[in-house]
Structures are given as structure tokens and as C-alpha cells.
A and B are shown apart, each in its own frame.
Chain A
Amino acid sequence: MEYLIPRTLFSAEHEDYRRLAQRFLADEVLPFHAQWEKEKRVPREIWRRAGELGLLLPCIPEEYGGYGADRLYAMVIGEEYMGSGASGLGIGFGVHALVAGYILHYGSEQQKQTWLPKMVCGEAIGSIAMTEPNTGSDLQAVKTRAVRDGDEYVITGSKTFISNGVQSDLVVVVCKTGTTGTAKDISLIIVESGRDGYAKSQPLEKIGLHAQDTCMLFFDNVRVPCSNLLGPEEGKGFGQLMRDLAWERISGAIGFQAQAEAALRHTIDYTKGRTVFGKPVIDFQNSRFKLAELKAEIQIGRSWVDSCMELALRNELTPEAAAMAKHWTAELSLRVVEECLQLHGGNGYMTEYPIARLFLDTRGNRIWGGSREVMKEIIARTL
């Protein structure tokens, strides 16, 4: 899709990196993605291959095995993974990056050395366990508890909707270590796969994102050393989760915007090629007007996301502006995909067509990373 006003964020190096990601996707990912959807996971070799190519965690500093690249590189791969329809990578790699961020910002030197180099090269897969069967956006209601016993924490509880859950080698668990009844009760603790008492469910059956392994996690008196606590002391979890929220939300928006653009691109191609009543679908005024409306909206979203990104690079992006981006682009992606599916007619209902897969894959955009309603609460507080 050609933009109505030119993007100005990227240098030639970023564009080279984008081509690398595009080649990787075209040659090694997209031809196999349907198979991975059946298997409900992305093979570990792909994680390693992405790591090898530097397409997993470009922003981790070199001292921990990364490339120390700026966040525009993360933006580039976010756009390419989500825009190409490789949703297994888009969400899973995104969560992996989030976990790496927590370890980088709050981890002890030991934790960083243990995990980051492996995470950069795709040897260790990270996940984060926040949501519980009875707790979604309302983090303070978390029931999972970690009780200190000598040099160990004993963790008990259940978590659900865990992206990368099945394959993850480490999970950052949001749990309660205190009993004050405030946010100070919350801590983040790393749990390695294979610990006694730690079990995973089968992959959950979802509306879309079929290649994304999402499962429940169960902790039954799981013991981990106290050195697995993230940060120097207990009770910092809430702040740790909040600190980089603006970036996490804009990361979501980057992907949603890319999905909206991809949907439009597919639909322009489709309506140009498909003939009905003797002329291409796009030559009907209704098609052109609908597509033009979508293009205008998409352009406006693109401007906002890029402006947020400029601010993010200067560490000036507010959580509220990022929340707007997350919410606005989530709605955009759903609106665009819905209209575009319609313009595909019956073919749009067939998952052979990318638009049908986008239809399935985008529905969660309005829910995770803070639901639409939570985003509105956040914005409403600024009124």
C-alpha cells in the first residue's frame, strides 16, 4: 500500500533489516505456517533461526548477546510479522521480547547472564503469566501466591491465556508475596520449566492465532530459589509491570496497524483481479469508496503510530498516548478486516485467503494488552 504522506522514521539500515525479515518470512515461515497452525505451535528451529538472523530481540545490548539496536528495529519486525500474517511469530516473539525487557530492566546480573543470551538466539523461550482463570485486567485480584520458605519461594496457583506457554523455558509469574491488600503485595518471579509441581495444559482452542501456543499453567507447591525473584526486593511487581507499559502498548499498535494495512493491500489486489457483472470489483463505486474510506483511516492511524514511535525513541511517549494508539488501531484493524472480508465475497470466508485468517487473528486485538474498556478508562481519566 502506498502511503498518502511519506513515512520518515526509517534509515536505509532499517529498510535493509526489513528486507531480511521479509526474506525470512517468505522463504522459511509463510510456506509452513498452515502446518504450524495445525500443530498449534511454531517449531523451535524457527525460533533459533530467527535468533540466528537477529530477528528475535534486536534491542538487547551486546553484552547480553544482542545487537543493541534502537527500537525502530523492533518496530520493523513487529510490522513484518503481523503484516505478513505470520501470527504465530507476531504474538509469540512479541511476548518473548516483553519478558526479555523485564529481565533486562529488573533482573540481577546473574539472571541477565543466564537468560538473555539464550533468549536472543532463540534457545530459551520466554513467557509471562499474568491472567488467572478468575482475574483478567484487574491485576491486584491475583490469587497465585508465593510463600517464602528458607531460601526458596513456594508458589501455588493457576494461570491462563499464556502465550508461548507450551514451549516456554521460563515464565515470569505474577504472584502475591505480601498480604497488605495493596499493589505492594505483587512480585514477579521467574519459574523454569521442569520444576517439580509445575504443569502445563494442552494448547487452548482459540478463535484465531492457531499457530500461537497458548495454554494454562498450574503451580502446585513449586519451589524456586529466592534468587528467581525479579528485582532486589519483594513487592515491586506492579511497578515493574507498569514501567514499560507505553512501549508495550505501542508495540501492540504497531502490529494492529500492520494488519489493517495488510488487509487493505490484499483487498485492493483481490478486487482488481476479480470480475463480477463484467467488470473488476474495484471498478464499482461502492468498492472504491469503501476502500478509499479505509485508506484514509489507515493513513491517519499510521500517522499517529509513527508519531508515538518518534516520542518513544526520545522516551517521551506517555502511557495515555500509547493507550490511544493501542485502542484506536485495534478498532481500526477490526473495522478494516470486516469490510475487506465482505469485498472478497465467498472467498473471504475461506481461510485459504489471507483476509479470512486476518478475520480470525485480529479479534483478540480488542481484548489483550488491556481490553478496549480498560483503554477507555485510562483515556477517560485524562478528560
Chain B
Amino acid sequence: MIPRTLFEHEHEEFRKTTRRFLADECMPHHEQWEEDHLVPRAIWEKAGELGLLNATTPEAYGGLGLDRRFSLIVGEEVTRVSASGLIGFGVHDIVAGYLNNFGTEAQKQKWLPKMAAGTAIAAVAMTEPGTGSDLQGVQTRATLVGDDYVINGSKTFISNGTNCDLVVVVAKTGNTGKGSQDISLIIVEGDRPGLSKSRPLRKVGLHAQDTTMLFFEDLRVPKENILGGVPGQGFFQLMKELAWERLGIAGNSIAGAQAVLEHTLEYTRGRTVFGKPIFDFQNTRFKLADMKINIAVGQNYVDKCMALCLENKLTPEASAAAKLWCSDLYSKVVDECVQLHGGNGYMLEYPVARHYLDHRVLRIAGGANDIMKELVGRTL
């Protein structure tokens, strides 16, 4: 309706590459990955070869030095096909962002080239069994003993938890009681003694995504592993790119909703009931028309936010509004589309059923939508 003007020729080529990779290398095996609750490391390496992992990492550190539209495209395409196993690419890219923005030279040299290549897989450990969006309630503690930090605590809902070679751990290093100043981000290598991982957690959807708990028991890392080398910066480091991260979720939501709409258009045109295609009933057409309108309107807002993001002008509140509205929309669209599929919509053989399972987390992850309302509420 209103053409997207965000992308240039290179972006469209990149999108084609991403689509081809997903169609040829991922989707034929995805069901197996869902059973395994894991994506093979070879797929990460293949994605790395194609430049799909950390497009914005500078060339000096093994990346492509591209703009964030490329990252947006990967998220959109992964969500379109509900390749839940690759949702972890987004988390991996967020960790690359932490390193790019705040890492010491040694940290960057050590991790970024491997991450871009897909030979090192990254996770971030924020949530704890007793703490979700309220970061200042984190209990995991890192205590300086000599030249090492000794870490104790538990983390949960860790995407890439099984596969990860490094995990950025949100831990308390201070005792001021002033919350944010006590928090640091510490890089923990996957093979450190004292780190153990749970079996993959059983989830509503995203079955191919390896999501685990992590346990830290007197785990020692050198103090150089603190992100950026200075303690007490964690809160700020986590916040810096939140607007972008949430916008990514909004963009994925719109892409997912659009894909579901397309599946449903095709299905309702092909399926006959009471002597005519489902599509030819007015109720169907009106419902689909409403979805099309909402998706178009949401896409327009996401793209405007993205244009601001590229200029570093996107505010956390504008992004929170995008995340809130677009992930809610995806839920509404997918629910209506399951309905229009009838019984088939309940069968996982149909893409719409997989979207139904996979999408639900988007209203929770990246800051629950209730938190988004708090953020937008502050601007009232």
C-alpha cells in the first residue's frame, strides 16, 4: 500500500541470500532440530560464511561492517519461516553489539571474528529463577578474589544455552545497594569449570531453540573478563542498545504476521466450503483486509523507527511502543489465521500452527509488553 523505502539494492540481495539459506539449508531439517532442541553448529558456521550472523561487526573484527538494516533483514526472514532454531542468531548479534560497543581490544579480538564466523556461539544470561524484567533484583554475584572473579548463582531462559561458547553474565559486583551501580557484565567461557547447563527447557514453541538454565558454582574467571574492563557498567551497557533490540522484535513481529497472512490467503483461496472458496465469504475477506491494514500500518511505523535508529535518534519509548503494538498485532493475526484454517490450522504440518506456537514469546521477551506500557506511560 505504501511501498517500503528503507532498503537499497544490496539489502535486497542480502535478503535473497538469507531466504535461500533458510529454504535450502534449514527448513528441510528443521523438524529434526525441533526434536533435538538444537541446531547443528555447522549451520552456524554456514550462516557465518554467508555473512548472516554479525553483519554490523566491523571488518577489522571479521564482520562486514554493514548497517543494521542487514540485521533487521535476518530477523525478518527467520521469523517469516518460523525457523525457531535460528532465533538465537538475534541473541548472538546482541552479544556482538555489547562487545563492539564496550569490549576491550583483547575481548574484541578474541571473540568477534569467531562469532562472525559462527565458530563461537554467544549467549546472554540475565533472567534468574526469581528475577525477570527487574534487573536490579539479580542475585548472581561475582566476588573479586585476587585477580579472579568468583561467580555464584543461577540463570534461566538462556537462549543458545546448550550451544554457547561464551555467555555474558549479568552479575552483582558491588554492594552500594544503589542497584544499577552494582551490576557488571562478565564474559564466561563455555568450558569453565563450575559452569553447568540444564537440559533444554520444554517450551510452548521455539522447539529448535536451545534454551536452558545455567548454574555457576564458584566459577572463576580472570578479572579481565569483565566487559570493558571496568566493573559497575553493566546496567548502562545493557540499556545502550535496548531501543534497537526491541525494534528488532517489532520488525520480526510484522514479518511473522505478514507471512501468516500470506499463508492464509493461499489457504482460503484453495479451500472450498459450502461450494465456494473460503476466501469468497465476506467475513473472511473483511478479516483478512483488517489484518492487511494493521500490518501495513505497523510496518510503516517500524520502518520510520528504523530510519531513526540508523541515525541513532530512536528513543527507548518510541521503540517500546513499536515492540508493544507489533507483537500484540502478531498475536491477533496468528490467532485469527488459525481460525480461518479451521482444523488444519491446529495441525503443525501447517505453517500457521507453528507460528501460533512460536510467536507467543515475543510479547514477553525483550521486556514484557507490560514493561513496554510502563515505558510509554512515563511519557504521558
Residues in A lying within 8 Å of B, measured CB to CB: 2, 4-5, 268, 282, 288-289, 291-293, 295-297, 299-301, 303-304, 307-308, 311, 318, 320-321, 324, 327-328, 373, 376-377, 379-380, 382-383
Contacts and interface: CB of A to CB of B under 8 A. Distances in A.
Contact of A321 (B2, B279, B373): B2
A99 B308 CA distance: 39
Contacts of B372: 292, 296
Contact of B288 (A292, A293, A311, A383): A383
B290 interface: yes
Interface string B300-311: 110011001000
Contacts, number: 108
Contacts of A379: 289-290, 292-293
Nearest to A268: B380
Given A300-B298, A307-B2, A291 B293 contact: no
A4 B372 CA distance: 13
A318 B296 CA distance: 14
B317 interface: yes
Interface string B257-298: 000000001000000000000010000011011101110111
B380 A288 contact: yes
A292 to B, nearest CB: 4
B373 A293 contact: yes
B238 to A, nearest CB: 22
A324 B293 contact: yes
Nearest to B286: A376
14 contacts: A4-B321, A5-B318, A288-B377, A289-B370, A289-B377, A292-B380, A293-B376, A296-B324, A296-B325, A324-B1, A324-B296, A324-B297, A377-B285, A383-B279
B300 A307 contact: yes
A260 to B, nearest CB: 13
User: Most chain-A CB neighbours within 10 Å: which of B293, B308, B375?
Assistant: B293
A80 B125 CA distance: 50
**Main DSSP-derived SS at the B contact region:** helix
A383 B297 contact: no
A10 B305 CA distance: 19
Contact of A328 (B297, B308, B370): B297
A318 B285 contact: no
Nearest to B307: A5
A383 B318 contact: no
Interface string B352-380: 00000000000000000010111111011
**Main DSSP-derived SS at the A contact region:** helix
B286 A373 contact: yes
Contacts of A303: 297, 300-301, 304
Given A303-B301, A373-B286, A5 B1 contact: no
Contacts of A376: 285-286, 289-290
Q: Which size bracket describes the interface of B in this complex?
A: 35 or more
A324 B301 CA distance: 14
Contact of B318 (A299, A308, A380): A299
Interface in B295-345: 296-298, 300-301, 304-305, 308, 314-315, 317-318, 320-322, 324-325
Given A318-B1, A382-B1, A300 B297 contact: yes
Given A289-B370, A324-B1, A380-B286, A295 B376 contact: yes
A53 to B, nearest CB: 33
A295 B379 contact: yes
A83 B288 CA distance: 31
Contacts of B315: 4-5
Contacts of A380: 285-286, 288-289
Contacts of B322: 296
A288 B297 contact: no
A311 B315 CA distance: 26
B326 to A, nearest CB: 9
Contacts of B297: 300-301, 303-304, 324, 328
Given A321-B1, A383-B288, A288 B293 contact: no
B325 A300 contact: yes
A334 B320 CA distance: 24
Contacts of A295: 321, 376, 379-380
A289 B368 CA distance: 13
B176 to A, nearest CB: 29
Contacts of B304: 5, 303, 307
Given A324-B296, A382-B1, A296 B377 contact: no
Interface string B1-21: 110000000000000000000
A188 B324 CA distance: 48
B380 A291 contact: yes
A383 B298 CA distance: 17
Contacts of A299: 301, 318, 321
B289 A311 contact: no
B191 to A, nearest CB: 44
A327 B322 CA distance: 21
